[in-house]
Structure 1
Amino acid sequence: MLGKRLTPPEDERTGADPLDTDVEITPRRMRIADGLAASFAVTGYPAEVSHGWLQPLMDYPGRLDISLHIEPVPPQVASSRLKRQMARFESSNRASAEHGKLEDFESEAAAEDAREMAAALARGESKLHRVGLYLTVHADSEQELDDEIAHLQSLCASMLVETRPASYRQLQGWVSCLPVGVDLLDQRRSMDTHALAASYPFASPDVAVETSPTAVLYGLNSDSSGVVLWDRWSLDSYNTVVLARSGAGKSYFCKTDLLRSMYAGVTAAVIDPEDEYTRLTEAVGGTVIQLGAPGVHLNPLDLALDEHATRDAVSRRALFLHTLLAVMLGEQLTARQRAALDHALITTYYNAGITADERTWNNSAPLLGDLVATLRNQDDEHAHELAFQLEPYVSGSYAELFRAPTTRRPTSHLVSWSLRSLPEELKGVGTLLALDSIWRTVADTTPDHPRMVLVDEGWLLMQQPEGAKFLYRLAKAARKRWVGLTVATQDAADVLGSELGQAVVANAATQVLMRQFPQSIDRIAEAFALSEGEKQRLLTAAPGDALLCSGDRRVAFHVVASDYEHSLVTTNPAEHSPPPGPEASADTGIEDEEEFL
């Protein structure tokens, strides 16, 4: 007997005899201790099967007991039975022909199978076995059990397996599924050696993850018909890294993961360089901030007010502005430049009525133009040089974003920072400013639910040394604030080519690899310890194919989405028609997707 129990009952964990458990039996189900169970017997099998065809049952995401009872049939008995069966088929076919009835093709196929099996038995190539397959599904409540039964029957139907409830024999069905080798149902079917061998799932290519309220459906397993469910919030690190070449489906996967995470109550913020998340954000009632659009301003000198801070707001803001100016100027500041900037910042805030006294922190913050004016007025050539380099951001072609106080505060369950309207020279600056605003929102509140920060096209920030340091600090500190940082990039060289980039990858317990360029596959294979087969899979992967890596666990999957989800996450312009409402079809809609999950 081959038995499987995904989650042992309480009495097994305590060492008690499971047969001593109090039970309450009804015709179609039974109560065992605090749970419910329903048993089924498999009465119909597909005509042809491949190796491991029972694997989908073994990968069932709920608690399911599977028992396979095997009884060898002596060759003499098997031969006699097959002869009688062939005689019945032949007699039935002749009777149908004499009465002018049409041919029964199912009977013809069964007769042909019986002849082939008899010939194999005569040559000693195979043997006959009587096989009983029984299933017992468990749940905690009546409604959950009904749902599990519906899911199990749907799965069996997709496998062309016919199941019947063990009506009025639930106790016998439950005992038959226990690992004691007793078959009380005696619902047997004959199988030859080859079919029986194909029924043994010795190994599973799926990632074994227990279901949880925050688990997300990533897609379908590429090596089996199972689903890939993943819960990033159950790991040591909540961070995720997604590496893929352009057109591999990276953004499609990230948007699908984001949307399904929100089903579980996760709030999120997105850095969107190409305005790809606006459609999704508006559909779920989120907030879109279009940096670079006319009338949209963001003041980098706004103070980060944190009631739990150990340092004053002015000092903390000055530290960030050192990082920001290094990214804006494209080079690290010298010691003299940092000193001149520190003096100018203190003077600028003082002129605006803001000092180390927290009572002054609610005053209106100065603008970047005020800081540049202070630098000009200093009697220091390094301050004058900084003012000269910052001139394009104050009165030049880059001034629109910084010329006025911040116009909109990011307050929503999903905030998308769109950078598409920014000039290319400002993309890195915009990414850093958006991340800073997001992190201030995350760090200044007490976490009561998981939150996600998604940085699409992370290479924009990784190209800047100071930006890479800022992203590394976020990756290190995210877990303490119940935040999962997702970094997606199409330029693996920028991420893996620096120590900071490698540290960001190392701090991500979930790593998703999609199709890669041949030029970068060797570096990726070395960083993620890929086998030759995995390298070839990534080089030839179709859009949407991915390899999930987490420690020593690996699984290949294909991203899938419902029709409604697809309409929100696709970037194909030909498919950007108004998304169908959930009421348009019983097979689409977010509600249906939740039910499927």
Structure 2
Amino acid sequence: MAKKKRKGIDISGFVQIRSVRDGIITYDNNISAVLMKVGSLNLALLDEEEQKIKINQFSNVLSLIQGDCSIVKLERPMELTGYIENQQENLKIQHRKFKNGEMSEKGYNQRLKQVNYEKNLLTQYSESTPVLTNEFYLIIYGRSVEELVYAYNNTFEKLLHIKLEPKRCDDDEIKYFLYNVYNPLGNKTLSDFRNNSNFREDILPEFLEFHATKIKSDSMVASIQGIYDFPMNVGPTWLAPIVNIPNTTCVINIKHVPTSHARTLMDRAITEIKTQMLNRNKSSEDIAKQTQLESFLYILEEIERGSEILKQVNVLLMGYGVDQYDLKKINRTITSSIKQAAMKADKLICRQMEGFVGILPTPRDDIMNDNGRDMPSLTLAAGFPFVFQSLEDKDGILLGYNRTNLIFFDPTVRNPNRTNSNIMVIGKSGSGKSHFTKKLLLKMLLQDIKVCIVDPEGEYDVLTDRLGGQSIDVGAAVDSRINPFHIFGQMQEDVEEGVSEEKKKQTFKAIFSSHIQFLEQFFQSVIPDLTNKELSRLSEMMIESYRRKGIKEDEDFEDIANDKFPVIDDLLAIVEEKISKLSDLIVKEPNRSVDLGDELSDLRNLRVYLGRMGSGGALSGLWNGPTTISVENSDLIHFDFRKMTASKNEQVMNSQMMLVLRFLENEVSKNRERNIARKENKHIAIAVDEAHVFIDDKSPAALYFMFQMVKRIRKYNGIFIVITQNVNDFVGTESIKKYTTAIINGCQYSFIFGLNPADLQSLMELYASVGGFSQEERSFIGNAGIGQCLFVVSPGQRITMEKITISKDEEKAFK
């Protein structure tokens, strides 16, 4: 390929890179470098002790890098091509599902509109109104590739431990990084560097012109400044406001200072301070110098003990714009930010070329000799620039944005910091919680995640109707019945594949035993006055009812037809039979009336209790008969509890909730079986809205089932979503709190919208075991506006969402 003709000076010397191969950059002078992308962590959202831990950990990282290194912040338009392509795939999913009869034509048309809306929005962001995001990189230089790789791997592991989520860069990503350093306003994308052997030509600008106070290229006008004076006393993230100034590239060049030279430098600095103190004029200056002297003496002591390392640091800042007018505005922002940070900058007049060389990802920095400052690694670590909040999951849902960039969230991501897909959504009425949850479920559905909603107040009937889902009125008796005796597939603690027939029989026995225990809980929930003796007798008769139906405890219950399982009337028939036999026996043998009287009394009580549920009873239509619910051909299932909630019969409602969760447990289990059979990786989401409605200290079985679901669902490609506006109910009694706290511990993600002061205090209690919230976070939650929330991704990654974006087009799906 012929070389490009370039205007201006010969700039080929600015790319002294021989090769990029196997993740190693090799320069013309035989020095090599490795590059990793570094994530972000907002220290401001952590409490003071956690901040100290993270800073000390990062100081340890810097201390262990014996060679030169650089921290680079780039600002670039978010790469949205992949997200746009995802929408194209989502369109194919809707076409396939409609063809397979999984939704109505009405639902199909609405889903297509939603996918196309998202696709058009992302295209607009990509082409017309790009969203800029900050990216951080760490470059380590050295002569020995072997030592460099060791340092790289060691540093990578330690950054993982800090929760900075480092990412290894392949050769094409390294070339793209180099291009962005040279051309911060360039329009090339990563795809332009895939398998590009002529990258040296492609990363250079068309031309470069160096002036006294600025640089010109074909795509930008820029100016470089060097920070040379820093505050004596600094706090956490003291460098972040400078590093993260918009429309800038910031490079922190760091040179290792050998211990012997560090001692000499500190001795010289201490002598200089003492000399200045002898010539003092003002008492205020005397105090400042004394403080500085004590700091230097402490640093020297730490160096002597081997607890501190000195680094020579040079901070270079390149502001850029499309023209001179643009640059002037940016420079005003830079000047103001530097002044507010109590720092001083060298504008590098007539040294812009030297500044540009220092910005480039090479070990050369001629400005270091003049402006570089010796700095303890702990002080440098406290600068912690990586505070830019972002989440860009590859297949993520566009949730909204924080102060500067879009947030893409994929709940199915699994890594060492994200171990399950469960979600907690909390917020007071009117905070935007409900709209957000509907948007989240809508986007999951469009991405081929099966969605099941437990809805106490009929909030999701419109969404279900417009998206072609199936709505089930759980209080409508015959047409939506779940037979308590129906044995559904269950989620096990340990799941195995390819087991023997004998192992399968043992599994079926365990399922049968588990279901009998479930029935005991069910009847205790619906009959709270049940005594232990009555429950024991009832349990024996339940097992007998299965035997009489010819159902063995070690057979595959999935093969049994719905109408072959026992029903309440079958159990009542056994009760009646036993009452009749005992009554006849007592008549024949009056002397046995004492020892048989208790059993007869228990059976008569059971007959009364069960009579409400048997033929002719008030609850007969609800539970007395085969299961009639079928959801095989639907990917959106809505369990509407509105009528049951209105009846205010908490015992019946919680008992029905247990049955619904049992039914959904079977759906989760079947999802896994389908994945194994078809070699797929599909997910299923279960959302429980207004979960506090199902919390009852007198009948905690429904809450227990939610706890069990949260605990086990992660092994089945499941997502359990808990939504509530009443946090106080989650605190409740100690027995309630035991389960609600466990549910929160089992939720990887939390979206916390605005809360009232009382609820905020309850929130602190619930989240105490998972680290709680800092004062900054509590303040944000207490003052959050509509659609604002704290998004907890992991203990080390918390994002303040400035706005959950829900457009009018999206609202058409559920409002």
- Give the TM-score taking structure 2 as reference length: 0.48
Question: Aligned pair in 2 of structure 1 residues 143, 547: CA closer, same or farther (>3 Å)?
Answer: closer
Pick from 638, 645, 655 the counterpart of residue 429 of structure 1: 655
**For residue 155 of structure 1, what is the amino acid of its counterpart?**
T
Cα separation, 1, equivalents of 2:723 and 2:550: 41
Match 1:480 to one of 711, 715, 720: 715
Structure 1 334/135 Cα, relative in aligned 2: closer, same or farther at 3 Å? closer
Aligned pair partner of 2:741 in 475, 490, 502:
502
Change (3 A) 1:138 1:465: closer
1:191 aligns with 2:191: no
**Closer/same/farther in 2, CA of residues 136 and 402 from structure 1, 3 Å limit:** closer
The 1:526–1:314 alpha-carbon spacing in structure 2 relative to 1, beyond 3 Å, is closer
Q: Pick from 546, 549, 555 the counterpart of residue 352 of structure 1.
A: 549
Compare 415-424 and 242-251 and name the one that shifted more: 242-251
Q: Secondary structure at the match of 1:554?
A: strand
Give the match for residue 546 of structure 1. Answer: 789
Alpha-carbon distance in structure 1 between the residues aligned to 2:722 and 2:752 = 12
The runs of at least 4 aligned residues of structure 1 exceeding 4 Å deviation read 10-13, 133-144, 146-150, 156-159, 162-167, 169-173, 181-184, 197-206, 305-309
Cα displacement string for residues 510-537 of structure 1 (whole angstroms, at most 9, x for unaligned residues): 0111222322221212433223343343
Count of residues in correspondence between the two structures: 443
* 1:555 partner letter: I
- Counterpart of 2:436? 253
| Aligned: 1:242 with 2:434 | no
How many Å apart are 1:276 and its aligned residue? 1.7
CA drift of 1:559 comes to: 2.1
CA contact (8 A) 2:692 2:730 kept: yes
Residue 409 (structure 1) shift: 1.3
Specify the SS of the correspondent of 2:457.
coil
Distance 2:664 2:216 in 1: 61
In structure 1, C-alpha distance between the alignment counterparts of 2:608 and 2:714, rounded to whole Å: 40
1:248-288 deviation per Cα after TM superposition (whole angstroms, max 9, x unaligned): 33222211111111222211211111122222122222221
Change (3 A) 1:158 1:350: closer
Whether 2:780 is the aligned partner of 1:537: answer: yes
Q: In the superposition, relative to structure 1, how do residues 134 and 502 fare at CA in structure 2: closer, same or farther (>3 Å)?
A: closer
The one of 399, 418, 427 aligned to 2:640: 418
The 1:424/1:134 distance shift into structure 2, 3 A limit, reads closer
Aligned to 1:228: 407
Instruction: Report deviation, 1:434.
Output: 1.0
Q: Corresponding residue for 1:564?
A: 809
Stretch deviating more after TM superposition (443-452 or 465-474): 443-452
Partner-residue secondary structure (3-state), 1:378 = helix
Cα 1:283/1:138, change in 2 over 3 Å: closer
Asked whether the equivalents of residues 134 and 173 of structure 1 are also in contact (C-alpha less than 8 Å), the reply is no
C-alpha offsets along residues 143-198 of structure 1, whole Å, 9 cap, x if unaligned?
Answer: 89x99996444234999xx978589x997673469xxx997836313437433347
Residue 483 of structure 1: how far off its partner (Å): 0.4
**Greater share of helix residues, 1 or 2?**
2
Confirm or deny that 1:320 pairs with 2:515: no
Superposition deviation, residue 240 in structure 1: 0.8
Instruction: Quote how far apart the aligned CAs of 1:135 are.
Output: 7.3
- 5 Å-filtered alignment, 1:258-337, equals 258-293=441-476, 295-296=478-479, 297-304=481-488, 310-312=507-509, 314-330=512-528, 334-337=531-534
Q: 2:726 aligns with which of 485, 491, 503?
A: 491
Task: Please give the alpha-carbon distance, in whole angstroms, between the structure 2 residues aligned to 1:152 and 1:170.
Answer: 24
1:49-60 to structure 2, matched below 5 A, reads: none
Seen in structure 2, the aligned counterparts of structure 1 residues 365 and 225 have a Cα distance that, compared at 3 Å, is: same
Q: How does 1:389-404 map to 2 (within 5 A)?
A: 389-394=609-614, 395-404=616-625
Check conservation: 1:378, 1:384, Cα contact below 8 A: no
TM-score by length of 1: 0.64
Alpha-carbon distance in 1 for matches of 2:552, 2:83:
60
Distance 1:166 1:276, change over 3 A: closer
Residue segments in structure 2 that go unaligned for 5+ positions in a row: 1-18, 30-71, 87-118, 134-183, 190-197, 222-323, 342-383, 491-500, 580-598, 676-680
The equivalent residue for 2:760 is: 521
Output aligned runs, 1:68-79, within 5 Å.
Answer: none
Q: 1:163 to 1:276 in 2, by over 3 A?
A: same
Question: How well do the aligned residues superpose, as a CA RMSD in angstroms?
Answer: 4.2
* Superposed displacement of residue 506, structure 1: 0.3
Whether the 8 Å contact between 1:206 and 1:226 is mirrored in structure 2 is: no
For the pair shown, the structure with the greater C-alpha radius of gyration is: 2
Q: Judging changes above 3 Å, is the alpha-carbon distance between structure 1 residues 522 and 67 closer, same or farther for their aligned structure 2 residues?
A: closer
1:141 and 1:555 map into 2 onto residues whose CA distance is 21
> Which residue identity does 1:320 align to in structure 2?
F
Deviates more, 1:353-362 or 1:421-430: 353-362
Q: Percent identity, please.
A: 21
- The question of whether the paired residues in 1 share the 8 Å contact of 2:484 and 2:659 is answered with yes
Deviation readout 1:11-60 (Å, 9 max, x if unpaired): 4772134999xxxxxxxxxxxxxxxxxxxxxxxxxxxxxxxxxxxxxxxx
Q: Which residue of 2 aligns with 1:211?
A: 393
Query: Is the contact between residue 425 and residue 721 of structure 2 (CA under 8 Å) also seen in structure 1?
Result: yes
Q: 2: distance between equivalents of 1:402 and 1:248?
A: 38
Change (3 A) 1:499 1:521: same
For 1:586, the equivalent position in structure 2 comes to none
Determine the C-alpha separation between the residues in 2 that align with 1:569 and 1:141.
Answer: 23
Q: Which runs of 5+ in 1 are unaligned?
A: 1-9, 21-65, 69-132, 571-597
Counterpart position of 2:608: 388
User: What amino acid sits opposite 2:755 in the alignment?
Assistant: Q
